Amino acid sequence: MKFKNGQIISKQRFPSPNPAIELSVVTYQANGLHIKGLLAEPKGEDLYDGFLYLRGGIKNVGKVRPSRIVQFACEGFIVFAPFYRGNQGGDGNEDFAGEDRQDAFAAFTLLQEHARVKRVHIFGFSRGGVMALLTAIEFPQAVSIVTWGGVSDMFLTYVERKDLRRMMKRVIGGTPTKFPERYKYRTPLFQLEQLQAPVLIIHGKQDHNVSVEHSYRLEKRLKALNKKVDSWYFPDYTHYFPPAVNRKTVEDLGAWMKSHE
């Protein structure tokens, strides 16, 4: 049987930490590959906005956490979080915002075609920031984008994160000096002219995983292009916010998303 991009191939129930939210591990199609992801659906028949959750990290670093996905679903969204190719039983190999962006693109389509989804927002955390921006560029019908502690510039990541250089050289296929085009391909700052949706930037100024400079560069470029952008900078916080602040920020960003038509 031939499947289309974003088409669900199988769906298996997964234990949910909240009785009002149904969780499922979904296998879906992305450019010929079978990719896995986690779907959170508020119970009932009501329609909701879709929320594409694009995680950070690579492989087992930054895995999708069911409790986090349910937290966003509790704000009144149907949430889908792809694991990206090569993870948790999915086909292929993750390549750090290279061709694995197709997994995000197909996931956006999956939400668009969900019977209970009205419209789709995009959220990216950490490395998911570039994935979110690339997906929004690909799908101008995205209603809004939130990037939280998000990467915007792969050249800057290579410079700042000495601990990631070996992985980046292996996955991307070399250094930014030798293969600048490969890093440019993964850096949405060069393609923001095509972005339509409003953007919300959230970043802790003490972040040592993804420096706040990524968000400053993104905000500056968006403003230069007269794009809609809001920014919430937190002077005292790192890549990970304290639980109470985290909960409040999730509520606030959910309200921000829903305020956009």
Active site residue 144: no
- Whole-angstrom CA distances from 87 to 5, 28, 119, 212, 237 are 18, 13, 27, 28, 30
In angstroms, how far is CA 247 from the centroid of its own chain?
A: 18
pLDDT in tens, 93-140: 999 999 999 999 999 999 999 999 999 999 999 999 999 999 999 999
What mean pLDDT comes out for the span 191-198? Answer: 97
Beta bridge partners of 33: 30
Residue 179: C-alpha distances to residues 174, 182, 186 (Å): 6, 6, 12
Fold for 8-258, please state it.
Rossmann fold (3.40.50)
Question: Under a CB-based contact definition with an 8 Å cutoff, are residues 112 and 142 in contact?
Answer: no
> Which residue blocks in the chain are alpha helix, DSSP H?
66-73, 101-112, 128-138, 154-160, 165-168, 180-185, 213-224, 243-258
Mean pLDDT over 48-60 rounds to: 94
Residue 60 in this model has a pLDDT that exceeds 90: no
Average of pLDDT values for 12-32? Answer: 98
Q: How confident is the model at residue 45 (pLDDT cuts 50, 70, 90)?
A: very high
> How does strand 145-148 pair with strand 33-42?
unpaired
CA 80 – CA 261 distance, rounded (Å) = 21
Tell me the pTM. Answer: 0.97
The model's confidence at residue 61, banded by pLDDT at 50, 70 and 90, is confident
pLDDT, tens only, 136-166: 999 999 999 999 999 999 999 999 999 999 9
Whether 239 is a known active-site residue: answer yes
- The catalytic residue among 24, 34, 239, 260 is 239
Cα distance between residue 40 and residue 126, in whole Å = 21
The one catalytic residue in 16, 114, 121, 126 is 126
